[in-house]
């Protein structure tokens, strides 16, 4: 267990967020955070006592900003905002993503600019520590004025409403609180607004996408190298000198990784003087294509970590006499890179599908459709249909949600980011990408066996053998859907990349040497 992370004080990273969500790192409110939280709540109390008009404290919301609310109704106002804004629809988001929403919401409020009560943050921390996670519908946010609908559902259990996941079972929040001997929180002035104004729905999807996409990028390099070996391609296009002439960081990293992955390969050495001049682009241009997607990933990671440590509600309470009503809740800073990363992830699937197709053509010593007795058998022809379908589905998901805006709140909120859709779409593209890479890995493992008795590099042989521990060679047709699910799960649960990385490191091969900006810390 790592040392305790202090909400509102320590810097939150993608890696730390994931570790807190997984229970690998304990997080708590530090003394400095508690002092800031109390001071901010006291500032809001003073505003109410002095009857100074501040948006969301003693006014209505959105288009109702000019409607005054009496001092006696300020608490009721905060209760009602959670009720009225809980309009989400669709399936619940994954509990892990909802838990990340809780973590990032606590971290933002604990910085002491939101007027939230200490008791409220302590209850949110209780949800996190006990893995009691609010049920949050996936649809309903336009990504400006904050992720209003999903954050309302996230915070309903604070006041005894809504639902919670407890040990995977969906239950009414009031029932769960009673079971644990807890009373609903009595929200103070501005608290409801502070809870639902923010970008934590977009942000949680970004955090998860950063983790998942990096895993896919690492897998794509390993699997692409295996396909290159099976197709007796050359490693010349990965020469460091070539990439120094066009020094994009992502391209240089992928070229380095491919050189290391192919090091000491007997298959590679067997065809040095074969006379083939150039490989198809899906083999030769892996550094440029995979590398461009890595550059996009790096940009998303950097912006996500800026947002992780930002205050994104409204208004901001600097002190009892200084509040600022602004637009820190607007999701545009993440909406754009999330959309851009949709393209980047889709392109990794696109080039992977092209390599699947190359493996089937029956060229360069491989049997057509990767099976000796085709005709009676269809071989690996139909799995490539699936990659083609998934690649096309990903293309349809690449329309940038952030290119659209629909006015809400009778025109008061006249430009919105749609970043919540951007975040959800990116994770949908990654769902498909994990299957595409799984099918390429299945095909590459089959193809490499037609190169025997020659061996690939030690790292790639380990990767091949690891897969063979779960899915065997196909000498005739079988239900490949089962194999696809098994191998894609190895991509999805990070085990394939983790096992290969561990073997490489133990062998003295450091696949990310000199490129530490492309890891999650």
HEC string for 10-64? CCCCHHHHHHHHHCCEEEEECHHHHHHHHHHHHHHHHHHHCCCCCCCCCECCHHH
The reply to whether omega before 77 is within 30° of 0 (cis) is no
At 60 the pLDDT is 63
- ∠ CA 203-207-211, nearest 5°, is 165
User: Does residue 451 lie in a domain region?
Assistant: yes
**Structural domain span for residue 168:** 2-198
User: Does residue 187 lie in a domain region?
Assistant: yes
Compute the distance between CA of residue 224 and CA of residue 472 in angstroms, rounded to an integer.
20
Instruction: Please check whether residue 208 is in contact with residue 431, taking contact to mean a CB–CB distance below 8 angstroms.
Output: no
Which tokens hold the place of 40? 């901010």
Residue count (the chain)? 521
300 shares its domain with 413: yes
The residue from 176, 198, 220 where one domain ends is 198
Compute the distance between CA of residue 491 and CA of residue 391 in angstroms, rounded to an integer.
17
Interhelix angle 200-230/495-506, nearest 10 degrees? 60
455 shares its domain with 483: yes
Compute the distance between CA of residue 457 and CA of residue 466 in angstroms, rounded to an integer.
14
Residue whose entry in the numeric block shows the structure tokens 């393209």: 343
User: Does residue 112 lie in a domain region?
Assistant: yes
pLDDT tens digit string along 197-212? 999 999 999 999 999 9
Which tokens hold the place of 230? 């099976």
pLDDT tens digit string along 346-402? 999 999 999 999 999 999 999 999 999 999 999 999 999 999 999 999 999 999 999
User: Does residue 259 lie in a domain region?
Assistant: no
Instruction: Please check whether residue 48 is in contact with residue 120, taking contact to mean a CB–CB distance below 8 angstroms.
Output: no
DSSP-derived secondary structure letter, 493:
T
180 shares its domain with 226: no
**CB under 8 Å to 391, separation ≥6 — which residues?**
346, 349, 350, 353, 432, 436
Which tokens hold the place of 45? 């109390």
At 1 the pLDDT is 45
94 shares its domain with 13: yes
In the predicted model, residues of the chain with pLDDT beneath 50 are: 1
Ramachandran class of 44: left when φ > 0, alpha when ψ lies in -120 to 50, beta otherwise: alpha
- Report the CATH number that the domain containing residue 392 is assigned in CATH: 1.20.200.10
**CB under 8 Å to 50, separation ≥6 — which residues?**
320
Compute the distance between CA of residue 444 and CA of residue 463 in angstroms, rounded to an integer.
11
350 shares its domain with 380: yes
At 48 the pLDDT is 86
Mean pLDDT, all residues of the chain: 95
281 flagged as catalytic: no
Domain tally, the chain? 2
The residue from 143, 174, 198 where one domain ends is 198
Cα of first residue to Cα of last residue in the chain, in angstroms, is: 15
Compute the distance between CA of residue 361 and CA of residue 332 in angstroms, rounded to an integer.
45
Options 7, 55, 281, 516, the catalytic residue: 55
User: Does residue 272 lie in a domain region?
Assistant: no
Radius of gyration of the chain (CA): 26
The number of beta carbons lying within 10 Å of the beta carbon of residue 126 is: 12
What is the β-pairing status of strands 25-29 and 2-7?
parallel
Compute the distance between CA of residue 189 and CA of residue 187 in angstroms, rounded to an integer.
7
225 shares its domain with 161: no
The number of beta carbons lying within 10 Å of the beta carbon of residue 455 is: 17
Q: How many CA atoms lie within 13 A of 136 on its CB side?
A: 32
Compute the distance between CA of residue 266 and CA of residue 201 in angstroms, rounded to an integer.
49
475 shares its domain with 347: yes
98 shares its domain with 223: no
At 62 the pLDDT is 64
| CA dihedral sign, ordered 450, 453, 459, 465 | positive
192 shares its domain with 304: no
Residue whose entry in the numeric block shows the structure tokens 């440590």: 309
User: Does residue 373 lie in a domain region?
Assistant: yes
The residue from 147, 177, 198 where one domain ends is 198
Which tokens hold the place of 327? 């637009």
- Report the CATH number that the domain containing residue 186 is assigned in CATH: 1.10.275.10
DSSP-derived secondary structure letter, 9:
T
Residue whose entry in the numeric block shows the structure tokens 């259990």: 157
131 shares its domain with 224: no
Ramachandran class of 218: left when φ > 0, alpha when ψ lies in -120 to 50, beta otherwise: alpha
- Collapse the DSSP code of 159 into the 3-class scheme (helix H, G, I; strand E, B; otherwise coil) and give the result: helix
Does this model's pTM top 0.85? My answer is yes
340 shares its domain with 390: yes
At 70 the pLDDT is 73
190 shares its domain with 300: no
């Amino acid at each position: 267990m790592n040392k305790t992370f202090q909400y509102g004080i320590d810097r939150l990273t993608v890696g730390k967020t994931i570790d807190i969500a997984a229970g690998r790192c304990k997080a708590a409110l530090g003394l400095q955070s508690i002092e800031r939280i109390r001071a901010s709540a006291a500032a809001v109390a003073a505003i109410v006592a002095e009857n100074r008009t501040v948006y969301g404290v003693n006014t209505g919301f959105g288009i109702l900003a000019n409607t005054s609310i009496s001092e006696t109704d300020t608490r009721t106002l905060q209760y009602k905002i959670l009720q009225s804004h809980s309009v989400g629809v669709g399936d619940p988001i994954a509990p892990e993503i909802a838990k990340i929403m809780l973590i990032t919401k606590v971290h933002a409020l604990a910085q002491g600019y939101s007027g939230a009560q200490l008791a409220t943050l302590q209850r949110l921390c209780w949800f996190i520590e006990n893995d009691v996670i609010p049920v949050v519908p996936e649809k309903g946010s336009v990504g400006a004025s904050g992720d209003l609908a999903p954050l309302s559902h996230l915070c309903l259990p604070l006041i005894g409403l809504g639902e919670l996941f407890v040990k995977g079972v969906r239950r009414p929040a009031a029932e769960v609180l009673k079971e644990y001997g807890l009373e609903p929180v009595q929200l103070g002035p501005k608290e409801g607004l502070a809870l639902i104004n923010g970008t934590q729905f977009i942000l949680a999807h970004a955090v998860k996408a950063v983790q998942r996409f990096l895993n896919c990028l690492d897998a794509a390099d390993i699997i692409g190298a295996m396909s290159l070996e099976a197709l007796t391609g050359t490693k010349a296009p990965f020469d460091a000198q070539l990439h120094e002439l066009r020094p994009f960081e992502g391209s240089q990293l992928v070229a380095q990784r491919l050189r290391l992955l192919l090091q000491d390969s007997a298959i590679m050495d067997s065809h040095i003087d074969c006379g083939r001049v150039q490989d198809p682009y899906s083999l030769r241009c892996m550094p440029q294509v995979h590398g461009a997607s890595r550059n996009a990933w790096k940009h998303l990671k950097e912006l996500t970590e800026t947002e992780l440590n930002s205050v994104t509600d409204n208004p901001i309470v600097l002190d009892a006499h200084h509040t600022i009503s602004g637009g820190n809740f607007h999701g545009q800073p993440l909406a754009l890179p999330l959309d851009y990363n949709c393209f980047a992830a889709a392109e990794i699937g696109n080039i992977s599908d092209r390599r699947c197709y190359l493996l089937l053509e029956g060229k360069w010593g491989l049997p057509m459709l990767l099976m000796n007795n085709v005709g009676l058998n269809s071989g690996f022809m139909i799995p490539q249909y699936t990659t083609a379908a998934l690649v096309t589905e990903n293309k349809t998901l690449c329309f940038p949600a952030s290119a659209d805006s629909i006015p809400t709140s009778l025109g008061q909120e006249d430009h919105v980011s749609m970043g919540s859709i951007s975040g959800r779409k990116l994770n949908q593209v990654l769902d498909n990408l994990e299957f595409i890479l799984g099918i390429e890995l299945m095909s590459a493992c089959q193809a490499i066996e037609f190169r025997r008795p020659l061996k690939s590099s030690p790292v790639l042989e380990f990767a091949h053998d690891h897969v063979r521990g779960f899915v065997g060679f196909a000498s005739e047709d079988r239900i490949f859907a089962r194999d696809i699910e098994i191998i894609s799960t190895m991509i999805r649960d990070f085990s394939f990349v983790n096992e290969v990385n561990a073997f490489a490191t133990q062998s003295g091969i450091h696949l990310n040497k000199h490129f530490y900006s492309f890891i999650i810390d």
